[in-house]
Structure 1
Amino acid sequence: MVTTDLLDIDTLLSSDEKDIRSAVRRCCESAVDPYVADWFEAGDLPPIRELAKELGDLGVLGMHLDGYGCAGMSAVAYGLACLELEASDSGIRSLVSVQGSLAMYALWRWGSEEQKVEWLPRMAGGLAIGCFGLTEPDHGSDPAGLRTRARRSGGDWLLSGTKTWITNGSIADVAIVWAQTDDGLRGFVVPTDTPGFAAHTIKHKLSLRASVTSELVLDGVRLPASAVLPGVTGLRGPLSCLSEARYGIVWGAMGAARSAFRTALDYSLTRQQFGRPIAGFQLTQQKLAAMHQELALGTLLALHLGRLKDTSGVRPEQVSVGKLNNVGKALDVCRTARTILGANGISLEYPVIRHLTNLESVLTYEGTAEIHTLTVGQALTGIAAFR
């Protein structure tokens, strides 16, 4: 029997972890896989609210958080869910990641009790969708320079600025917006029906097409004093959320790689050239062996970080190691898989080109490869080389 797990990595998982993985895979097989190529080709995610509700019923939205309707699962369980979601499409994993690890985590970690009670149960159930407004047109890798401003107006706050490349932005019910104040960088809980708030869907993407990506415009948005996240001031707030989301990417990238690898393996066993399956040629077997190796090592790295996160805790530079390695290796796997499929590799009849173009975005968002390289470099040398 042909296997894709030569290292028996499954033996490192508990029965509960395997059950969670299987439940997410079944959901993806019924609700995502039959349709995602069409969504990607159309550049839209039409059933996003229905899908969010189904994912909420499954318990994967904010599944690694405790209380307020959240499932309280382990980091490894959440990682396995991310792997299965991204095996279907990076855009679907992004929907879950932005909801749970950015918007919900910001509320859960830094919000007031009133904010948590108001939003988290609905978000966990998929009844309310959140987005995370940090990146700006002129400030991506350097969030300390962002220009969105919040100033006091009597007992209220007035927010003005623009955010871009915001997943879920134009369909969100609540936005977590980070803005400069006289006291430093602060986070604000912004219901999207607040006057002065607008969101515009970004079109003409050639990556993450089965995902809603938006520009947020805040034009004198008036918020009560209770809208500010009380638990944090400064970059520590948004960076802590990004670390949570990056952890999910470490796993998710391996889902995209697994899908591409299995597709290439299956294709190579049935595609006939020169009178035999192309899997029987040495060059093809070299490609398959190299892809399997990167997939296995990346999955082991993700599992190691997950076990750390569930026990002693995981440091930001450790997450950077994971994202830097796994996204880059997943891209290599997808590119190699594409060569095995030949011309068929660029067809949406197969998932490979979709995963490949999606990963080009995953390589950049939530910390570019360059930023994670410098994060690792600083951890190794003690010298910051960002400026």
Structure 2
Amino acid sequence: MSSAPTSRPRLDPHDPAGIDALLSEEELAVRQTVRDFCADKILPHVADWYEKGELPGVRELSRELGKIGLLGMHLTGYGCAGMSSVDYGLACLELEAADSGLRSLVSVQGSLAMYAIWRFGSEAHKTEWLPRMAAGEALGCFGLTEPDAGSDPASMRTAARRDGADWVLNGRKMWITNGTVADVAVVWARTDEGVRGFVVPAGTPGFSAPEIKHKGSLRASITAELVLDGVRLPGDAVLPEVTGLRGPLSCLNEARYGIFWGALGAARSCYETALDYAKTRVQFGEPIGAYQLTQEKLANMAIELAKGQLLALHFGRMKDQGRLAPEHVSIAKLNSTREALEICRTARTILGGNGISYEFPIMRHMANLESVLTYEGTPEMHTLVVGQALTGLSAFRR
């Protein structure tokens, strides 16, 4: 007859669902490496960067990210780390727990610019750009969104026409992360053959990337407009392995995977800040964490965060097994961004007036998540993707 246990398991306030037990030693090590990097290189400075609306030393930062293998880390060959989807997701969560702008830099570099070249580029494109981008020696950006073409990329106006053996590009792209500092842009344009992608080195005559200022979100991130005014490229600048919107949309799906992990990092930062604050802030002679309404807020935040993390981990395992559908990514992106924003807003109420101070990360994460909610597919678009998958009926134009 077995004896009764001498003690019962205790719930960890920082891991209430016991998710760490589902991670391998390697996955935990990857997470810790990124967490330590952020604690050393980012967190001491990011509030000041955000307040000033700048990301100083971005090239040195990119090289440091490259040294620990975070740029294109889920890609194989060409100097990329070849790590798992779960490893990449955990890295995105830790990066965004520091700041969404940092995770955006890594996502655009690895899951948009590098991924487009890795999947659709020629061997010459890959060997020229990927090793340098993986090392952080070259930065990339991804030009799809336009001033009048966000959720409807089929209506893009940027066009490329053949002129002898060359291509000539004209158009504008908007809200381009890394654009001003990028060494190479992957630009999507209409052609007589359909939508094609082009590898555009910075410095090509007619190409410019003025920085967008006066942002109320993603302030510790470089955002640009891309201007293409008669940009002449050689014939082999086109990505040879894809024609049509399948190209850019598959890249966006790759980036969304990291985004739905990342949003949970912002949520975790706000939850842990509120939890610590609730245990030390005294009102009416008691820590505010001793009051029922505050405990209800904390419990709801912890539960929604754990549910989001479990969903992300499940979908990460599916991605590593080759079973993740685009609709799954829409489910997770919709859930993570929506719940992360609610967690951040609730955390702000626990901190009261202090919640708006940059002494704490909450208002910064809240403002950043307003952009994360919108880019790579708005909640409305992902809702309709899921709705169509459930019903078999399209409602996009109704």
Report the TM-score when normalising by structure 1: 0.99
Gaps of 5+ in 2: 1-9
Partner of 2:285: 275
Q: Using the TM superposition, give the Cα deviation of residue 266 of structure 1 relative to its aligned residue in structure 2, in angstroms.
A: 0.2
Q: Using the TM superposition, give the Cα deviation of residue 3 of structure 1 relative to its aligned residue in structure 2, in angstroms.
A: 2.3
Residue 96 (structure 1) aligned to one of 84, 92, 106: 106
Matched, 1:386 2:392: no
Counterpart-to-counterpart distance in 1, 2:251 and 2:355: 36
Matched, 1:197 2:197: no
1:268-300 deviations in whole A, cap 9, x for unaligned? 000000001000000000000000001000000
Partner of 2:125: 115
Partner of 1:46: 56
1:201-223 deviations in whole A, cap 9, x for unaligned? 00000000000000000000000
Partner of 1:257: 267
Partner of 1:61: 71
Residue 181 (structure 1) aligned to one of 191, 199, 203: 191
Q: Which amino acid is 2:15 matched to?
A: D
Sequence identity percentage: 69
Partner of 1:208: 218
SS at structure 2 position matched to 1:234:
coil
Counterpart-to-counterpart distance in 2, 1:313 and 1:232: 22
Q: Using the TM superposition, give the Cα deviation of residue 313 of structure 1 relative to its aligned residue in structure 2, in angstroms.
A: 2.6
Q: Which amino acid is 1:37 matched to?
A: A
Counterpart-to-counterpart distance in 1, 2:156 and 2:322: 33
Residue 340 (structure 2) aligned to one of 312, 319, 330: 330
Higher CA-based Rg: 2
Q: Which runs of 4+ in 1 moved over 2 A?
A: none
Q: Which amino acid is 1:47 matched to?
A: G
Gaps of 5+ in 1: none
Aligned pair count?
387
Q: Which amino acid is 1:177 matched to?
A: V
Report the TM-score when normalising by structure 2: 0.97
Residue 45 (structure 2) aligned to one of 30, 35, 44: 35
SS at structure 2 position matched to 1:166:
strand
Matched, 1:354 2:364: yes
Matched, 1:163 2:173: yes
Counterpart-to-counterpart distance in 2, 1:44 and 1:313: 39
Q: Which amino acid is 1:95 matched to?
A: L
What RMSD in Å do the two structures reach over aligned CA positions? 0.7
Q: Using the TM superposition, give the Cα deviation of residue 312 of structure 1 relative to its aligned residue in structure 2, in angstroms.
A: 3.1
Counterpart-to-counterpart distance in 2, 1:8 and 1:300: 10
Counterpart-to-counterpart distance in 2, 1:251 and 1:339: 24
Q: Using the TM superposition, give the Cα deviation of residue 386 of structure 1 relative to its aligned residue in structure 2, in angstroms.
A: 1.0
1:300-342 deviations in whole A, cap 9, x for unaligned? 0100110000013311110000000010000000000000000
Partner of 1:128: 138
Q: Using the TM superposition, give the Cα deviation of residue 6 of structure 1 relative to its aligned residue in structure 2, in angstroms.
A: 1.5
Q: Which amino acid is 1:329 matched to?
A: E
Q: Using the TM superposition, give the Cα deviation of residue 19 of structure 1 relative to its aligned residue in structure 2, in angstroms.
A: 0.2
SS at structure 2 position matched to 1:200:
coil
1:106-146 deviations in whole A, cap 9, x for unaligned? 00000000000000000000000000000000000000010
Partner of 2:380: 370
Partner of 2:5: none
Bigger mean CA offset, 240-249 vs 310-319: 310-319
Matched, 1:232 2:242: yes
SS at structure 1 position matched to 2:394:
coil
Q: Which amino acid is 1:59 matched to?
A: G
